[in-house]
Chain A
Amino acid sequence: MTMTAIPAFGTPPRSRRRLWIEQITGASFALPALALLILTILLPLAVLLYLSLTNYEFGAISADWVGLANFSKALADPIIRRSVINTLIYVAIVVPGGVFGALLIAILVHGRRRTRSLYEVIYFLPVTSTLIAMATVWQFLLHPALGPVNAMLKWLGFGEIAFLSEPSTALATLAVIGIWQLLGFNMILFLAGLSAIPRDLYEASEIDGCSNGIDRFLTITWPLLGPTTMFVIVTTMITAFKIFDTVAVMTRGGPMGRTEVLLYNIYLEGFQYFHTGYAAALSFIFLAFILVFSVAQTFTLDRKVHY
């Protein structure tokens, strides 16, 4: 036992020192992130909360405490109410279209061998493109007189439609562009989910009598894709709820307020009209919606559903 210490397991002084070093390193590694977390998220949230309870306007010298007046004003404001409804309509179109469209495409693409990567590229292309630039192109595509879409409609014998300036079609048109932008992203997520389903199960079901596509889909694909589908739905809801770019570039809330959405109104109130206090209250309303979706997302993100 004269051999010099191979540090024996759990020698008290050493391990205490080790623990101490670990704590110091851990804390110092986390420090930059913590500082940024405080400076760019927590502190701004606190300030935002304070602002929402005042009538502060950016540039003003002072502000008065108004309590919940901003919130009650927002809830009564017909413009805000309309923008919330518009946003939800937008979400209600983009989510089913963007999720189930992507599911259909993913299932079809998954079965291809040679053409699979070609289709993957094509469908994914809009995800990487700059939406603002493409929005300009869409505007031209949908132009009542000059665009090919209307030319096609005329050729088919329909009347021309001013998609973006017609109150009844503007929001739906933006939603279609939204689906166009996000379909490929969701398709890739579904493809990953599909690849994770063991081939054995399809074979077993084949022997057990699932002879057609519908049976295979209902017995195996759909239930086993459940967690992926949940995740994709929630992500799509959040993305859709944050619609801003296309409104800002293509319609600016028009025609007749039909495409006013919540985030666009927050932008106008906060950074164009500088009704800072009011915009702060609107931000919290926006956050409330996002939180409802996000909590669901955090759940699906951390908990892969095990059967």
Chain B
Amino acid sequence: MASVTLPVAARAAAPITPSGAIAKRLLSLVVVHGILLAGAIFMLLPFVWMLITSIKPPAEIFTAQISLWPKQFYGVENYSFALSQAPLLRFALNGVILCAGILVVQLLVAIPCAYALAKLRFPGRNLLFVLVLLGLCIPVQVPAMPLYIALAELGLLNTYFAMMVPFFLSVFAIFLFRQFFRSFPDDIIHAARLDGMSEFEIVWRIVTPSAWPAIAAFSVFSAVAHWNDLYWPLIVISDAKLAPPPLGMMFFADAETGSNYGALTAAATVLTAPLVIAFLIARRRFIDGITMTGVK
């Protein structure tokens, strides 16, 4: 029996196939990768161009002659200029402080509340849950103005606290963790109670560790959201020393650097790098995180 072996086909394996079908298969492979690669170029173009421009001298940038690779390496000058013109590292540090501060409070507030909603009976539980669901529908841009007025009255504008406060409560975290805690076996909680653990210990030492995937997922979600948020910092921060990355980038772009694209792209690189590098390192976590927070 003349037979041609194929690599194990993905699914719906084609049985032993004459050469015409192989050509067809090859063609479809070319089409598929063609589409994917075209899309990938679209996705990567800004990143590639950012990196290239950030090491080009002005003379090569301001020319109609587009070249992919710089003739003269000008990276040192661009990056040092960008770093000297604006406290880029400070912006990044602000981003870290902002994200960490928000995340810690979010977890401290949301986990006990989610546990109570999932496992404890107390008066007003259903009402609270309805409010949580309602909160899910309200974007921060809506209560922004009263919060701004209150912070201004209290003299708290231009503080880290002002930047963080609207996000301390994440109704989304409560919702997500509640779904997760609900599937935690009651028997284990009962056993822990019989062993003499307080509810406080049960939450932090028994239930929370079991919800690690959900917590990691939410952390990724929260960090990405607040590292990249512009709207609220733009409102409450005017002091460049406190600016998180997006606001810092905006200040930098507005300043006299205006059209110094070499320095601008160098700054963009510095401010984009931390999260992108974090993503490349913890790729699975990011993707699982989005999947879980997205469709759970």
Please tell me if the beta carbons of A33 and B109 are within 8 angstroms of each other in the complex.
yes
Q: Complex formed: what's the CA distance from A107 to B291 in Å?
A: 16
Nearest-neighbor residue (CB-CB) of B193 within chain A: A18
Please tell me if the beta carbons of A192 and B122 are within 8 angstroms of each other in the complex.
no
Q: Complex formed: what's the CA distance from A24 to B10 in Å?
A: 56
Please tell me if the beta carbons of B12 and A286 are within 8 angstroms of each other in the complex.
no
B20 CB within 8 Å of chain A = no
Q: How far, in Å, is A162 (CB) from chain B's closest CB?
A: 15
Q: Which of A34, A127, A266, A286 contacts B128 (CB 8 A)?
A: A34
- For B42, what are the chain A residues with a Cβ–Cβ distance below 8 Å? 180
Q: Complex formed: what's the CA distance from A21 to B202 in Å?
A: 14
A-B contact pairs, 20 of them (CB 8 A): A22-B121, A23-B122, A37-B171, A41-B143, A43-B146, A45-B143, A47-B149, A111-B10, A117-B283, A123-B40, A128-B279, A130-B275, A141-B46, A146-B261, A189-B294, A199-B11, A235-B294, A248-B230, A276-B145, A276-B149
A-side interface residues toward B, CB under 8 Å? 19, 21-27, 29-30, 32-34, 36-37, 40-45, 47-48, 51, 58, 101, 104-105, 108-109, 111-113, 115, 117, 119-134, 136-138, 140-141, 145-146, 148, 151, 180, 183-185, 188-189, 191-193, 199, 202-203, 206, 216, 228, 231, 235, 238, 242, 244-245, 248-249, 263, 266-267, 270-271, 276, 279-280, 283-284, 286-287, 290-291, 294-295, 297-298, 301
Stretch at the interface among B71-79, B96-104, B208-216, B262-270: B262-270
Nearest-neighbor residue (CB-CB) of B291 within chain A: A192
Nearest-neighbor residue (CB-CB) of A47 within chain B: B146
Please tell me if the beta carbons of A37 and B135 are within 8 angstroms of each other in the complex.
yes
Please tell me if the beta carbons of B145 and A124 are within 8 angstroms of each other in the complex.
no
Q: Complex formed: what's the CA distance from A127 to B286 in Å?
A: 10
Nearest-neighbor residue (CB-CB) of A191 within chain B: B291
Please tell me if the beta carbons of A41 and B39 are within 8 angstroms of each other in the complex.
no
Q: Complex formed: what's the CA distance from A164 to B201 in Å?
A: 57
Interface of B is mostly: helix
Nearest-neighbor residue (CB-CB) of B176 within chain A: A301
If A45-B143, A146-B261 touch, whether A122 touches B43 (CB-CB below 8 Å) is: yes
Please tell me if the beta carbons of B137 and A290 are within 8 angstroms of each other in the complex.
yes
If A111-B32, A298-B133 touch, whether A121 touches B113 (CB-CB below 8 Å) is: no
When each residue 40-56 of chain B gets 1 if its CB lies under 8 Å from chain A and 0 otherwise, what string results? 10111111011001000
Please tell me if the beta carbons of B122 and A30 are within 8 angstroms of each other in the complex.
yes
Please tell me if the beta carbons of B265 and A189 are within 8 angstroms of each other in the complex.
no
Please tell me if the beta carbons of B276 and A125 are within 8 angstroms of each other in the complex.
yes
B227 CB within 8 Å of chain A = yes
Please tell me if the beta carbons of A122 and B44 are within 8 angstroms of each other in the complex.
yes
Q: Which of B36, B115, B249 contacts A133 (CB 8 A)?
A: B249
Please tell me if the beta carbons of A228 and B110 are within 8 angstroms of each other in the complex.
no
Q: Complex formed: what's the CA distance from A71 to B144 in Å?
A: 19
| 58-90 of chain B: CB within 8 A of chain A | 61-64, 66
- For A249, what are the chain B residues with a Cβ–Cβ distance below 8 Å? 230, 250, 253
Please tell me if the beta carbons of A287 and B142 are within 8 angstroms of each other in the complex.
yes
Please tell me if the beta carbons of B291 and A137 are within 8 angstroms of each other in the complex.
no
Nearest-neighbor residue (CB-CB) of A206 within chain B: B12
Q: Complex formed: what's the CA distance from A128 to B246 in Å?
A: 13
Q: Complex formed: what's the CA distance from A124 to B290 in Å?
A: 10
| 209-267 of chain B: CB within 8 A of chain A | 224, 227-228, 230-231, 234-235, 245-247, 249-250, 253, 261, 264-265, 267
Please tell me if the beta carbons of B40 and A119 are within 8 angstroms of each other in the complex.
yes
- For B174, what are the chain A residues with a Cβ–Cβ distance below 8 Å? 33
Please tell me if the beta carbons of A19 and B121 are within 8 angstroms of each other in the complex.
yes
When each residue 103-123 of chain B gets 1 if its CB lies under 8 Å from chain A and 0 otherwise, what string results? 000001110110111001111
- For A298, what are the chain B residues with a Cβ–Cβ distance below 8 Å? 133, 136-137
Q: How far, in Å, is A161 (CB) from chain B's closest CB?
A: 15
Q: Complex formed: what's the CA distance from A34 to B117 in Å?
A: 12
If A124-B279, A129-B275, A189-B290 touch, whether A283 touches B145 (CB-CB below 8 Å) is: yes
B183 CB within 8 Å of chain A = no
- For A141, what are the chain B residues with a Cβ–Cβ distance below 8 Å? 45-46, 49
Q: How far, in Å, is A119 (CB) from chain B's closest CB?
A: 6
- For A216, what are the chain B residues with a Cβ–Cβ distance below 8 Å? 12
If A33-B109, A45-B143 touch, whether A183 touches B271 (CB-CB below 8 Å) is: no
Q: How far, in Å, is B37 (CB) from chain A's closest CB?
A: 9
Q: Which of A122, A133, A284 contacts B271 (CB 8 A)?
A: A133
If A33-B113, A48-B143, A130-B275 touch, whether A295 touches B265 (CB-CB below 8 Å) is: no
B280 CB within 8 Å of chain A = yes
Q: Complex formed: what's the CA distance from A189 to B136 in Å?
A: 19
Nearest-neighbor residue (CB-CB) of B294 within chain A: A189
- For B290, what are the chain A residues with a Cβ–Cβ distance below 8 Å? 127, 185, 188-189
